[in-house]
Amino acid sequence: MFDSVRVRLTLWYTGVLALVLVCLSAGTYWLVERTTERRTFISLAEISQGFLTTLQSEYKDQLKERAGLEALHAAAQESVDEFRLRDHRFAVLDSAGSVLAENQAVPAPREPAGAASQREIPGDVLRNLVAGTAGAPRRLQDLILGDEHFRARVLEAEVGGSPISIVTLQSLERERELLEDIRATLLWVIPITLAIASAGGYFLARKSLAPVVGMSEKAALMGAQNLHERLPVQNARDELGYLASTFNGLLERLERSFEQQRRFMADASHELRSPVSIIRGEAEVALSQTRSPEEYRESLAIALDEARRLSQIVEDLFTLARADAGEYPLRPRDFYLEELAADCVRAVRSMAAARGIMLTYEPDGEMPIHADEALVRRLAMNLLDNAIKYTPAGGKISVACQRAGAEYSLMVRDSGPGIPAEAQEKIFERFFRLDPARTHSGRENSGTPETAASATVGAGLGLAIARWIAEAHHGRLTLVQSDASGSVFVAYLPTNSAGRAAFLPANGGAGEGPEAASAKRERTAERTGT
């Protein structure tokens, strides 16, 4: 029962509402009680003072006909007869505690005509009120006469030189009935309100959480086969609609990821099957009959080339898998980017010359950097190999290293036929290759790293790996331009360690003298042939 969110929400809502209602009711009851007490106090004070004024006036009038205590007694009787108020009773006592006069309250309109007369107030009760409790007089005291509750006020005064005590009693029955009615009303209203609020809260919680239940049931039926389905969004502007939209976005990303994985597995299987089939075919042909040494050598050479291609594909796949899992460790060290680029240009110069391609390199001073040298070298080789495969015979490839603000840029420009506009957004995807008819040799978006010795079509992983290497170093790889005049790829790497004073590469660098710097420039020119 308590496992349900709807029940817990209803209980919390009911509990909070009950606490609020109880506190509000207690506060209201206390305020009404204090207000009635204050009104009773003020009323008793005003009426007592008014009775004293009337008594003094009557005493003066009685002095015209009587004298002494007889005049006081007559004045007290006249005053109590004249001062008859509803819910109020009066008594006048002399200094000896004798009752000079007392009256009864005016009957309430609801009382029947034949109702019993009110009881007289016993003299000892009046004397006790005047004396107070344990000889300590109090101005306000409560007492019960029969079944009726009163509040009494004792006023000490002098009339004609004689000390007297005026006892004023006010009935508390109306106030008690009001407070009792309030208590009874609250005892009924609070439970009924809580019951209605609980039912309404449970209904609202159930109605509000109904979309969540629907989404849960829908999500429970989803799997790899129906990731194209989406959760219903009833109101995109509320929290549940935002949750459904977010979940739909997650499903969309999962669907794309699943689709990429399916395509990746299909393409990988296709790429791996081709060299394996060639190796198997050559081996079967070589073993089918006795052949000459030259024929065996030719078959072994073909198998070796395909084995190298297969090894490169497997290595690329392993690299991307580790990169996706975040388990490819970077081993940064200090080196010079322009020297690394010169080494790469030198490594592919023979292959470019074999295809009749002019290869040039333009360094821009020393570029110390702190990065993974092997990965950066692989990035540069992939870009160069890709450019060589894309550039037709007689074309030109230029490589340049420059400082661009807080970054280094490694640019590779070729003079190939360009990449179609619709394919430029996909050129960095894995296993994506252009139509071979658009290139001189089945041009693709990748190449073999580091060796760049194969003229065969690659697996379409080179640029994907190159972009990952750039991003792993907090840089980026972009296709800046691609049209009929050729394509330009630029890799940007941060110069986070370029300004360190303690930068000391293994082959010299910071702190080297003019002669060492001149020798370094000569080595760079020798490597690039410039």
Q: What is the CATH number of the domain that holds 288?
A: 1.10.287.130
Reading the block at residue 526, the tokens are 């020798």
Same domain, 335 and 316: no
Residue-wise pLDDT tens digits, 225-267: 777 777 777 777 777 778 888 888 888 888 887 877 777 777 6
Residue-wise pLDDT tens digits, 462-508: 888 889 899 888 899 999 888 888 899 999 999 863 333 333 333 33
Mean per-residue pLDDT for 71-82?
85
Of 66-70, 114-118, 145-149, 323-327, which gets the smallest average pLDDT? Answer: 114-118
Amino acid symbol at 215: M
Mean per-residue pLDDT for 429-457?
48
Residue-wise pLDDT tens digits, 40-75: 888 888 888 898 888 888 888 888 777 778 888 888
Amino acid 138: pLDDT: 53
Amino acid 23: pLDDT: 94
CATH number of the domain where residue 35 is located: 3.30.450
Question: Is pLDDT larger for residue 5 or for residue 522?
Answer: 5
Note whether 29 and 209 are within 8 A (CB): no
Same domain, 316 and 342: no
What burial class does residue 196 get, using C-beta atoms within 10 Å of its C-beta: 0-12 exposed, 13-18 middle, 19+ buried? exposed
What burial letters (b/e) apply to 217-234, b meaning 16+ CB within 10 Å? eeeeeeeeeebeebbebe
Instruction: Give me the chain's average pLDDT, please.
Output: 78
Amino acid 501: pLDDT: 31
Mean per-residue pLDDT for 158-164?
83
**Which secondary structure element, helix H or strand E, spans residue 131, and what is its range?**
helix 123-131
CATH number of the domain where residue 363 is located: 3.30.565.10
Amino acid 51: pLDDT: 87
Question: Is pLDDT larger for residue 274 or for residue 27?
Answer: 27
Mean per-residue pLDDT for 339-348?
92
Residue-wise pLDDT tens digits, 179-194: 999 999 989 998 998 8
pLDDT level of residue 26 (50, 70, 90 thresholds): very high
Same domain, 140 and 263: no
**Which secondary structure element, helix H or strand E, spans residue 404, and what is its range?**
strand 396-404
Reading the block at residue 38, the tokens are 């204050």
Residue 272 domain-assigned (yes or no): yes
Residue 259's φ and ψ, nearest 5 degrees, are: -65, -40
Question: Is pLDDT larger for residue 155 or for residue 530?
Answer: 155
Of 112-126, 265-279, 286-300, 405-419, which gets the smallest average pLDDT? Answer: 112-126
pTM tops 0.75, yes or no? no
Mean per-residue pLDDT for 322-341?
83
Amino acid 2: pLDDT: 60
Same domain, 175 and 244: no
Q: Is 101 left (phi over 0), alpha (psi -120 to 50) or beta?
A: beta
**Which secondary structure element, helix H or strand E, spans residue 93, and what is its range?**
strand 88-94
Kindly state the percentage of the chain with pLDDT values over 70: 82
Residue 198 domain-assigned (yes or no): no
Same domain, 304 and 430: no
Q: Has residue 304 got a pLDDT over 60?
A: yes
Same domain, 513 and 434: yes
Distance CA 291, CA 102 (A): 149
Question: Is pLDDT larger for residue 34 or for residue 159?
Answer: 34
Residue-wise pLDDT tens digits, 212-222: 777 777 777 77
- The H-assigned helical ranges of 132-223 are 173-220
For the chain, counts of helices (H) and of strands (E): 10, 12
pLDDT level of residue 411 (50, 70, 90 thresholds): very high
Amino acid 116: pLDDT: 45
Same domain, 165 and 281: no
Query: Can you say how many angstroms the Cα of residue 191 is from the centroid of all Cα atoms in its chain?
Result: 37
Same domain, 358 and 442: yes
Same domain, 305 and 420: no
Residue 33 domain-assigned (yes or no): yes
Distance CA 273, CA 264 (A): 14
Domain range holding 477?
330-528
Residue 256 domain-assigned (yes or no): yes
Residue with tokens 């460790």: 329
